[in-house]
Chains A and B, each alone.
Chain A
Amino acid sequence: MTAILEIDNLHARLVGGREIVKGVSLVVNPGEVHAIMGPNGAGKSTLSSVLVGKPGYEVTQGSVTYMGRDLLALAADERARAGVFLAFQYPVEIPGVNNMYFLRAALNAVRRGRGEPELDAAQCLKAVKAKLKLLDIGDDLLKRSVNVGFSGGEKKRNEIFQMAMLEPNLAILDETDSGLDIDALRAVSNGVNQLRDPNRAIVMITHYQRLLDYIEPDFVHVLSEGRIVASGDKTMAAELEQSGYAAFGKAA
Chain B
Amino acid sequence: MSGVANDSAMTALQDAFLTGLETAQQPAWLAQSRTSAMQGFIALGLPTRDDEAWRFTDLRPLFSAQGLPAPASAAGADPLQLATHRLAGEAHRIVLVNGRVAADLSSIGTLPKGAWLSSISETIDLRPDLIQAAFEAEHRFGEQPFASLNAALFADGFVLALEPGVVLEHPVEILHLSDAADSQAYHVRNAILAGANSAASVVETFVGSGPGWTNAVTTIDIGADAVIRHAKVQAEGAEAIHLAVTRARLADAADYDSFSLITGARLSRQDIQVMIAGEAATVQINAAYLLRNDQEATIAPAVDHQAKGGHTKELLKGVLTDRAHGVFLGSVMVREGADGTDARQLNRNLLASPTARVDTKPELTIHADEVKCSHGATVGDLDETALFYLESRGIDPASARAMLIDAFAAEVLEVAALAPDIDAHARRYLAAWLEHDGAAA
- A91 located at the interface, meaning its Cβ lies under 8 Å from any Cβ of chain B in the complex: yes
- B135 located at the interface, meaning its Cβ lies under 8 Å from any Cβ of chain A in the complex: no
A75 touches B389 (CB 8 A): no
* Interface 0/1 of A47-58, CB less than 8 Å to B: 000001111000
**Hey, which chain B residues are within 8 Å of A92, CB to CB?**
383, 385-386, 388-389
**Hey, which chain B residues are within 8 Å of A54, CB to CB?**
388, 392
B392 touches A81 (CB 8 A): no
Choose from B384, B388, B396, B407 the contact partner of A97 (Cβ within 8 Å).
B407
Residue total for A at the interface (Cβ-Cβ under 8 A): 30
- Chain B residue nearest to A96 (CB atoms) is B407
Within residues 89 to 142 of chain A, which ones have a CB less than 8 A from any CB in chain B?
91-97, 102, 105-106, 109-110, 113
- A76 located at the interface, meaning its Cβ lies under 8 Å from any Cβ of chain B in the complex: yes
A113 touches B394 (CB 8 A): yes
B389 touches A80 (CB 8 A): no
A42 → chain B, closest Cβ, in Å? 22
Choose from B393, B406, B407, B410 the contact partner of A109 (Cβ within 8 Å).
B393
B394 touches A110 (CB 8 A): yes
- B391 located at the interface, meaning its Cβ lies under 8 Å from any Cβ of chain A in the complex: yes
Choose from A81, A88, A95, A145 the contact partner of B394 (Cβ within 8 Å).
A81
Of B386, B391, B411, which is in contact with the most chain A CB atoms at under 10 Å from its CB?
A: B391
Choose from A86, A94, A145 the contact partner of B390 (Cβ within 8 Å).
A94
Complex Cα gap A137–B80 (Å): 51
- A77 located at the interface, meaning its Cβ lies under 8 Å from any Cβ of chain B in the complex: yes
A102 touches B403 (CB 8 A): yes
**Hey, which chain A residues are within 8 Å of B397, CB to CB?**
75, 77
B389 touches A77 (CB 8 A): no
- B399 located at the interface, meaning its Cβ lies under 8 Å from any Cβ of chain A in the complex: yes
**Hey, which chain A residues are within 8 Å of B406, CB to CB?**
96-97
B403 touches A77 (CB 8 A): no
* Interface 0/1 of B363-398, CB less than 8 Å to A: 000000000000000000001111011111111110
Choose from B388, B403, B404 the contact partner of A76 (Cβ within 8 Å).
B388
B393 touches A88 (CB 8 A): no
Choose from A55, A145, A166 the contact partner of B393 (Cβ within 8 Å).
A166
- A29 located at the interface, meaning its Cβ lies under 8 Å from any Cβ of chain B in the complex: no
Given contacts A55-B384, A77-B395, A109-B394, contact A88 B389 (CB under 8 A): yes
- Chain B residue nearest to A95 (CB atoms) is B407
A94 touches B394 (CB 8 A): no
A106 touches B404 (CB 8 A): no
A109 touches B389 (CB 8 A): no
- Chain B residue nearest to A147 (CB atoms) is B389
B392 touches A76 (CB 8 A): yes
- B408 located at the interface, meaning its Cβ lies under 8 Å from any Cβ of chain A in the complex: yes
**Hey, which chain A residues are within 8 Å of B389, CB to CB?**
88, 91-92, 94, 146
- Chain B residue nearest to A112 (CB atoms) is B394
A106 touches B394 (CB 8 A): yes
A161 → chain B, closest Cβ, in Å? 12
B407 touches A94 (CB 8 A): yes
**Hey, which chain B residues are within 8 Å of A110, CB to CB?**
393-394
- A206 located at the interface, meaning its Cβ lies under 8 Å from any Cβ of chain B in the complex: no
- A162 located at the interface, meaning its Cβ lies under 8 Å from any Cβ of chain B in the complex: yes
Complex Cα gap A102–B393 (Å): 9
Choose from A52, A77, A97, A109 the contact partner of B404 (Cβ within 8 Å).
A97
B395 touches A106 (CB 8 A): yes
B201 → chain A, closest Cβ, in Å? 26
Complex Cα gap A95–B411 (Å): 10
A15 → chain B, closest Cβ, in Å? 13
A14 → chain B, closest Cβ, in Å? 14
Sample of 25 A–B contacts (CB below 8 Å): A54-B388, A54-B392, A55-B384, A75-B391, A76-B388, A77-B391, A77-B400, A80-B393, A86-B392, A92-B383, A92-B385, A92-B388, A94-B389, A94-B404, A94-B407, A96-B407, A96-B411, A97-B390, A102-B403, A105-B390, A105-B393, A106-B390, A109-B399, A110-B393, A110-B394
Residues of A at the B interface (CB closer than 8 Å) are: 52-55, 75-77, 79-81, 85-86, 88, 91-97, 102, 105-106, 109-110, 113, 145-146, 162, 166
Name 14 extra pairs, CB < 8 A, besides A80-B391, A86-B392, A97-B406. A54-B388, A80-B392, A81-B394, A88-B389, A92-B383, A92-B385, A94-B383, A94-B389, A106-B394, A109-B393, A109-B396, A109-B399, A146-B389, A166-B394
